[in-house]
Chain A
Amino acid sequence: MTRNTRILMQCIYWAFVLYLLVPLFLMMLMGFKDSKFIGFPIRSWTLDWYLGVFNDTAVVQALGYSAVIAVVSTAIALFMGTWIAVALTGRSFWGRAIILGLTLLPAVIPGVISAIAFRIAARVVGMEPGMWAIIWSHAIHNVPFVVLVVMARLSTLPKSYGEAARDLGADPIITFFRVTLPYLTPAMIGGGVFCMLLSFDDFVRSFFLGGYEPTLPVLIFAKLRSGMSPEINAISTIVLVLTALLGLWAERSMRGMSKRAAND
């Protein structure tokens, strides 16, 4: 590569980074503006919008509601997804491809379609709109991601680990809990964080299946209808920082654990 093309490549790279980050940066910036209207010029600065978020009970409640939904739906998705991944790995049986296909289907169905389907199904089975309906739809939507990461991890599990455990006196259940499951932990943490972020971020399913209590994205949407205000910027920035921290933590701890396992 010549020097000029290298410089050109770097320019393109930084232009792309700018393109990605400028909207986010503007969003954060506007949260500090001491005025009800978003836009330049900024004449004076304030922390009121950020402080206001924590005093807005509706926002705090929605945040808690979203967090509970994210945690519970992720727990269900992890349980189901790991179970399916383990069941599908290591042996071939009739219908394996069909089960795998059906498991992965929710990940590719458009959100609106699946939300409507869930809504209809909820009514058929007599499930009230609300938290459990949202959790149910989020869990099913997230199972495929767990299955994929756990299966990828399982495929690197040396067969001899399980055999060594059996050899040393462990029955299949002890072998699973003491050898297989610890080996899957990094993938489960990664998959779990991803599920939480997906659930936290979800608007369509939460909107269709929700009751009177709004999740955070639904609340933001409702607030938008009464006009854009810097408070929304402040909420969004806080959520951005929290999710970025969560993602970073998951990435780091996962890398450490996978490295340890891979080195052995």
Chain B
Amino acid sequence: MTDVKDPIVRIEGVTKSFGSFIALHEMNLNIASGEFVTFLGPSGCGKSTTLRILGGFETPDTGRVILNGKDVTALPPNKRNVNMVFQDYALFPNMTVRRNIAFGLELKGLGQAAIKARIDELASFLELTAYLDRRPDQLSGGQRQRVALARALAPDPALLLLDEPLGALDAKLRAQVQVELKAIQRRTNKTFFFVTHDQEEALTMSDRIVVMNKGRIEQDGTPEELYFQPASRFVAEFIGETNLLSGRALAVDQGSAGFDWQGHQLRATSTPGRAALAGGAATASLRPERIQVQRDRPATDNAVQGQVVNRLFKGHRMLLDVAVGETTVQAYTDTDRGRELADGPVWLGWNANSLTLLAD
């Protein structure tokens, strides 16, 4: 678990079940102020339940939620300084954009002048000034998404919850909005709690990603930590593409490890707490783009020989299927080299820090 000093949100021992389905096993998590935290996982992993507990739409069975040092576990949504951007945006169809954004401000008891000033500020910030008097049905998907964001930011919440808000946008717009959203988060310095099942989205925007699986936190770290040092097989498979090598762990030291794979003695890294794996069957993750493919033996920590059996042209690069012993390893190479290596034996090489020993 990432150490957080002076957290704005503390989730302490929270559990939640729906009937016999356990949505959340005991969860403990701290979120720092100004952090962009993403909860990532497949559907049913508990990420949305966590979000709804933070928003006040679900009450945890046990545990507490502390917001700004205050226990808010039993408070209804309208009594929490937390706002949410809904998956379907949930803009009120009978109100203009202006009235939608004003909704939370009016309920906070702000005066007319203050409300107007706040709306104008947000509208110019989110480029909505021209649309303030339109109704939601007269807006495009991207505009609606910005209105939902403006409405949720308007009451100045301590924590902003975002429930897969990019799901309804097409791929191109989504990429653009990812960049915008990150920029908005930096400029407002708000704490964002973002929920998604899209790993690319998570990698692009987050300061920190919490990977969830079956109601438990699988791993909690920066996007780079998750990508290069996945703690478990689930994380390695869920984030990006990877080769999972099945073999035997040899000596496991602090940080480094030996790995026996089809008779090759490989050097690998291990995250702390994997010492128990030593001597037993284990899995290691190897990202396809971390492998060098060449004719001659490369000067890397690990090198094995194989045979190219298939090529997939991907434009700027090529994905090679290389048969090594009984298994096939996938490796990326640039397109020109991929053409040269079309047939014949090749060497695959990678360094110890690219091969990560996993807990199963």
Contacts and interface: CB of A to CB of B under 8 A. Distances in A.
B55 interface: yes
Interface string B93-111: 1100000000110011000
A261 B90 CA distance: 11
Interface string A10-49: 0000000000000000000000000000000000000000
A174 interface: yes
Nearest to A159: B90
A169 B108 contact: yes
A6 B207 CA distance: 66
B78 A261 contact: no
B137 A169 contact: no
Contact of A179 (B86, B88, B92, B152): B92
Nearest to B136: A264
B78 A171 contact: yes
B91 A264 contact: yes
Given A174-B107, A183-B93, A264-B137, A167 B78 contact: yes
A164 B107 contact: no
A168 interface: yes
Interface in A151-205: 158, 160-161, 163-171, 174, 178-179, 182-183, 185
B155 A183 contact: no
A164 B163 CA distance: 12
B151 interface: yes
Contacts of A168: 78, 83, 103-104, 107, 151-152, 155
A158 B91 CA distance: 10
Interface string B50-91: 000001110000000000000000001110001110111011
B93 A163 contact: no
Contacts, number: 77
B136 A166 contact: no
A260 interface: yes
Contacts of B92: 161, 164-165, 178-179, 182
A167 B107 CA distance: 11
Contacts of B57: 163, 166
Nearest to B151: A168
Contacts of B56: 166-167
Contacts of A263: 93, 136-137
Given A182-B94, A260-B93, A264-B136, A167 B55 contact: yes
A258 to B, nearest CB: 10
A161 B88 CA distance: 9
Contacts of B118: none
Contacts of A183: 93-94
B135 interface: yes
Nearest to B86: A160
Contacts of B152: 167-168
Interface residues of B, number: 27
B86 A260 contact: no
Q: Is the interface of A mostly helix, strand, loop or mixed?
A: helix
Interface string B33-58: 00000000000000000000001110
A163 B78 contact: no
B91 A167 contact: no
B88 A170 contact: no
Contacts of B88: 158, 160
Contacts of B107: 168-170, 174
Contacts of A174: 107
Contacts of A260: 93-94, 135, 137
A163 B90 contact: yes
Q: Which of the listed residues B76, B103, B108, B136 has the most CB atoms from chain A within 10 Å of its own CB?
A: B103
Interface string B266-294: 00000000000000000000000000000
Residue from B76, B88, B92, B152 with most neighbouring chain A CB atoms (10 Å): B92
Given A163-B86, A169-B104, A261 B77 contact: no
A179 B151 CA distance: 15
Contact of B103 (A158, A165, A264): A165
A48 B339 CA distance: 98
Contacts of B94: 182-183, 185, 260-261
Interface in A206-264: 259-261, 263-264
Given A169-B78, A179-B92, A183-B94, A164 B136 contact: no
- Among A158, A168, A174, A263, chain B packs the most CB atoms within 10 A around the CB of A168
Nearest to A169: B107
A167 B84 contact: yes
A217 B62 CA distance: 65
A185 B55 CA distance: 29
Contacts of A179: 92
7 contacts: A160-B86, A163-B86, A167-B77, A168-B104, A170-B103, A178-B92, A260-B135
Query: Which 6 residue pairs spanning A and B have beta carbons closest together?
Result: A169-B107, A168-B104, A263-B137, A160-B90, A164-B90, A264-B93
